[in-house]
Structure 1
Amino acid sequence: MCGIAGVFGNPESDLEVKKMLAALGHRGPDACGIYTAGDLSIGNTLLKITGDMPQPLTGIGALVLNGEIYNFRELKAEIGIKTDSDTELLFSLIETGVRKGNTPINAVFSALSKVNGDYALAYVCGRELVLARDPSGVKPLFYCSGERMEKPEIAFASEKKALACTGRKAKPFPQGGILSFNIENRKIAEKVVVRSIKTKPPEERISVEKEALFHLKAALERAVELRLTSTAGIAFSGGIDSTFLAAIAKRIDPDISLYAVGLPDSHDIAQADYAAQAIGMKKNLKVHFLSPKEIEAAVPQVIYATESTDPMKVTIGLPLYIVAKTAGEDGKRVLLTGQGADELFGGYSRHEGFFDQGPDVLDREIYSDLENISTINLERDDMVTMANSVELRVPFLDKDVIKTGLAVSPELKIVKKDGLYTRKYILRKAAEGLLPPEILWKEKKAMQYGTGVQKVLDWLARDSGFSKKQGKHIEKYLMQVASEKRFGFVNER
């Protein structure tokens, strides 16, 4: 996990990239490197988790990677390479493709088609720059292209603030996208080459409950196993998603730490304590009691991290920010969360209405949720965790878990009986035997309410003179904080 940045088409690209990497220092405190060739520079700030390979890697071309390739040990055995670095493995796959005569973008596409991972990367070869992002957009990537200094250019970075510090406005790179840029004769290639590795809806469905349970359990157990390291912890709220992950992880690492935050009298603290006790992990639970003062102090940090004053982003991002901070101070570099379970298995109340319109309607909505999960949830979650140099990992968005989840019939995701809905039905059934019924079938409050953060922000906004009756009082308070801190890049479009 790390931060990446680059500029193509600017004679001062190396100086520009150095500025951008300085803004990304929190994402990679262990090392920093830059590769420059003429008017092109790419760079990396490194957070060591898998292997100890400095970036950029260079050969025929050069590569910077932000992310993890979880099946790299299987792939390295398959191609016969000796390495403890997933970055080196991916670089070898790409360079092999180039040596065989493939174009850089096709070499990247071929390599990424083999991997199971979360990543954002840049590969340069000659006058071609290839950018790519994982299918779910777990790892963030932003880019811009246009005319500066009377020359065409492309710039990219892991966070918008890195581009903003050099006067650039950025847009999110498409999740599952692979784009190739070429600058020749003072022009960006008129037709940018585009490939996609997005997960497609399955052709065959799993409608038998027993079969669905078998495949889902196997995929999720493997996803958790691939993401565990000696420095991993779990963001734990005591709900079905995080408790299921904890119960699976316990089988692999009985000592894995669970991190819960909330006001002393909050729902999430009580629920986390109860759930940890129920699955025999009370000794693993580490609780951080929030105070209004601590929440107030964290508000500008979360605004800066998320680059937004959107109340939803801040109220959800704030407790996760403090969870990551707590885990980081405890020596953890990886944090597993249950993000993606609601999108994949029909966990939102609005999914009930789509289910009533028909299974196909719910199917389309779930697929739409997954197509937009990066901009709605994942970019926020990555930025608040990486603000504390802690890597976010999401087992429910594993490549094989998504394939299995999309294949499961919608009638197994939401069940309606006697006018009552059971959301995420198949996921709850998959956890039977690991979790007690009172956790399996219980609905949980959203994080911002369960931790008490929403209540405190409501009070802070009113205490700052913003009337709740006049509307948007929390947003006005957050905008005031951003203005006082002079976060000029916040909410740029």
Structure 2
Amino acid sequence: MCGIAGVFGTPESNMEVKKMLAALGHRGPDACGIYTAGDLSIGNTLLKITGDMPQPLTGKGALVLNGEIFNFLELAAEIGMKTDSDTELLFSLIENRVKEGSTPIDAVCSVLSKVNGDYALAYACDRELVLARDPSGIKPLFYCSGKGDEKPEIAFASEKKALAFIGRKAKPFPQGGILGFNTESGEITEKIPEGYLKIKSPEKRLYAEKEALSHLRLALEKALELRLTPTAGIAFSGGIDSTFLAALAKRIDPEISLYAVGLPDSHDIAQAESAAEAIGMKENLKVHFLSPEEIEAVVPEVIYATESTDPMTVAIGIPLYIVAKTAREDGKRVLLTGQGADELFGGYRRHEEFFEKGPEVLDREIYSDLEKISKINLERDDMVTMASSVELRVPFLDKEVIKTGLAISPELKVLKKNGYYTRKYILRKVAEGLIPPEILWKEKKAMQYGTGVQKVLDRLARDSGFSKKQGSHIEKYFIQIASEKNFEFMNE
């Protein structure tokens, strides 16, 4: 939806926030705003999707929000409020709590306990700055805090590079975290609101397949419906996750566009074309054929966007970066992906190994995957899509889908029968009737291999003089590019 940034504790806070917002301009090309009170400044660069409400919103306090509150219409109806802006609704709820006597952090906690959304936000009021991030870490947030020369300081931004541009070293704000910073004492308070979703054990387990299917189907249908907009498209590889999303979306919007990328002879292009035809969406599919020259050209852009020279981060980021760019050129502002399905439903080969050690071991691994998904996957995906001002939405990480998925028995996620494993079994069963069997039960290659990107990167690294035999040749190639482009934040 946008980029947010803020600084407290320096006389230059307004100027520093302006610099950070300039670095975040790609995240919000539609508007830019700053609120300043003394040594505190918070700001926003806006990408208009839901409503048309400039930020920061101000009243007793001030709010900036990056993300979407998907159930805002339900929450607005509960208090009799008419609005087309999720940000206005969220601000109103928080302000009402503060006016009733709640501290700013308690007000934010209370409101977020009712929210189903993807967000990173900052709320400033009464000498307190509150930062919060959604439970899965779908929206990125980085921050740093410490003691200045005369008073405590804190700074935050949607991307690490923005903080690096004002000379600050940043760390990721924890997914699901809520933090209150006292602007007088520098004291930091962390809270978990009652009923708020952290990655935790479900109250009830779903062991019966029929019951699990019913609950999961309803949760997924609702999650997708909440995330569809007239400007949405789907990143489409032809695997079960994206094909299932496409088949569900077709019921709501038969014209929704599917975007696939890959080298002309790649596995993913063939798979995407086959899957789109199988679900009757051949005309919806828009294919972008990659070339080695295009891949080489975007490598620096993806390194910059992801703030990383990690080979896997960049290799996976390249296809999604180009998908988002293609979708944006086609007029889209939202891109749906199947991210989270493998983590929640046991889709990786290593999940078979954990299941072999016992269902409870697989259960623990799935929890671990979800607790790390922001750092491993979501921050990368958000940054490569928002580089083209396209908002990432991930229905499989909807609050209710996660709750349902965690409740489902691990024996229904990885099924072993006659010595063979079926990963994501329960998800495949939910998709029966929407996806033909030849697509439904087929395994899929990882994106960097399926699109052919990995082979091109291997050749580019070798052509640049880095020996594969000496190891880490692709990473050395990326580091060289980052150095040549003077990406100073890479050293932070």
Same fold (TM over 0.5): yes
Which residue number in structure 1 is paired with residue 458 of structure 2?
458
Which residue number in structure 1 is paired with residue 170 of structure 2?
170
TM-score normalised by the chain length of structure 2: 0.98
The offset of 1:313, in angstroms, is: 0.3
The offset of 1:82, in angstroms, is: 1.2
User: 1:319-338 maps to which residues of 2 (within 5 A)?
Assistant: 319-338=319-338
The offset of 1:188, in angstroms, is: 1.0
- Deviation per CA, 1:61-85: give whole Å up to 9, x if none: 0000000000111111111111110
Separation in 1 of the partners of 2:301 and 2:347?
30
2:478 aligned partner, one-letter code? L
Which residue number in structure 2 is paired with residue 250 of structure 1?
250
Contact 1:24 1:162 in 2 (8 A): yes
Separation in 2 of the partners of 1:221 and 1:247?
11
The offset of 1:150, in angstroms, is: 4.4
Separation in 2 of the partners of 1:364 and 1:306?
29
The offset of 1:42, in angstroms, is: 0.3
The offset of 1:201, in angstroms, is: 1.5
User: 1:183-198 maps to which residues of 2 (within 5 A)?
Assistant: 183-184=183-184, 187-189=185-187, 191-195=188-192, 197=196, 198=198
1:408 aligned partner, one-letter code? I
2:70 aligned with 1:73: no
Contact 1:181 1:193 in 2 (8 A): no
Which residue number in structure 1 is paired with residue 153 of structure 2?
153
2:183 aligned partner, one-letter code? I
Which residue number in structure 1 is paired with residue 366 of structure 2?
366
User: 1:49-68 maps to which residues of 2 (within 5 A)?
Assistant: 49-68=49-68
Report SS of the residue matched to 1:119: strand
Separation in 2 of the partners of 1:479 and 1:54?
39
1:294 aligned partner, one-letter code? E
2:233 aligned with 1:233: yes
The offset of 1:148, in angstroms, is: 3.8
- Deviation per CA, 1:409-452: give whole Å up to 9, x if none: 00000001122110000000000000000111100000000000
Which residue number in structure 1 is paired with residue 484 of structure 2?
484
Which 4+ runs in 1 deviate beyond 6 A? none
1:308 aligned partner, one-letter code? S
Report SS of the residue matched to 2:432: coil
Q: Cα–Cα, structure 1 residues 9 and 301, in superposed 2: closer, same or farther, change >3 Å?
A: same
The offset of 1:488, in angstroms, is: 1.2
The offset of 1:194, in angstroms, is: 3.0
- Deviation per CA, 1:326-360: give whole Å up to 9, x if none: 00000000000000000000000001111011111
1:40 aligned partner, one-letter code? L
TM-score normalised by the chain length of structure 1: 0.98
2:313 aligned partner, one-letter code? K
- Deviation per CA, 1:156-195: give whole Å up to 9, x if none: 00000000000001000000010000022xx411x53333
The offset of 1:149, in angstroms, is: 4.6
2:229 aligned partner, one-letter code? T
- Deviation per CA, 1:458-486: give whole Å up to 9, x if none: 00000000000000000000000000000
Contact 1:142 1:173 in 2 (8 A): yes
2:42 aligned with 1:42: yes
Report SS of the residue matched to 1:222: helix
Separation in 2 of the partners of 1:20 and 1:139?
17
- Deviation per CA, 1:299-337: give whole Å up to 9, x if none: 000000000000010000000000000000000000000
Separation in 1 of the partners of 2:61 and 2:284?
45
Contact 1:128 1:181 in 2 (8 A): yes
Which residue number in structure 2 is paired with residue 284 of structure 1?
284
Which residue number in structure 1 is paired with residue 475 of structure 2?
475
1:468 aligned partner, one-letter code? K
1:204 aligned partner, one-letter code? K
User: 1:36-435 maps to which residues of 2 (within 5 A)?
Assistant: 36-184=36-184, 187-189=185-187, 191-195=188-192, 197=196, 198-435=198-435
The offset of 1:491, in angstroms, is: 5.4
Report SS of the residue matched to 1:139: coil
1:181 aligned partner, one-letter code? F
- Deviation per CA, 1:187-206: give whole Å up to 9, x if none: 411x5333364242202100
Separation in 1 of the partners of 2:108 and 2:199?
17
Which residue number in structure 2 is paired with residue 445 of structure 1?
445
- Deviation per CA, 1:247-289: give whole Å up to 9, x if none: 0000000000000000000000000000000000000000000
- Deviation per CA, 1:333-389: give whole Å up to 9, x if none: 000000000000000000111101111111111011001100000000000000000
Report SS of the residue matched to 2:490: coil
Report SS of the residue matched to 1:383: helix
Separation in 2 of the partners of 1:378 and 1:367?
16
Q: Structure 1: any 5+ residue segments left out of the alignment?
A: none
Separation in 2 of the partners of 1:218 and 1:193?
34
Contact 2:238 2:273 in 1 (8 A): yes
Across the two proteins, how many residue pairs are aligned to each other? 489
Contact 2:9 2:148 in 1 (8 A): no
Q: Cα–Cα, structure 1 residues 491 and 260, in superposed 2: closer, same or farther, change >3 Å?
A: farther
1:393 aligned partner, one-letter code? R
1:133 aligned partner, one-letter code? R
2:186 aligned partner, one-letter code? I
Contact 1:308 1:491 in 2 (8 A): no
Which residue number in structure 2 is paired with residue 22 of structure 1?
22
Contact 1:232 1:332 in 2 (8 A): yes
Contact 2:344 2:406 in 1 (8 A): yes
Separation in 2 of the partners of 1:82 and 1:207?
42
The offset of 1:11, in angstroms, is: 1.4
Report SS of the residue matched to 2:443: coil
1:253 aligned partner, one-letter code? D
Separation in 1 of the partners of 2:151 and 2:301?
36
The offset of 1:96, in angstroms, is: 1.0
Contact 2:240 2:440 in 1 (8 A): yes
Contact 2:199 2:367 in 1 (8 A): no
Contact 2:177 2:190 in 1 (8 A): no
Report SS of the residue matched to 2:191: strand
Separation in 2 of the partners of 1:132 and 1:193?
10
Separation in 2 of the partners of 1:94 and 1:491?
38
Separation in 2 of the partners of 1:417 and 1:193?
46
Separation in 1 of the partners of 2:148 and 2:383?
28
Report SS of the residue matched to 1:188: coil
Report SS of the residue matched to 1:129: strand
2:388 aligned partner, one-letter code? N
In percent, how many aligned pairs have the same letter? Answer: 83
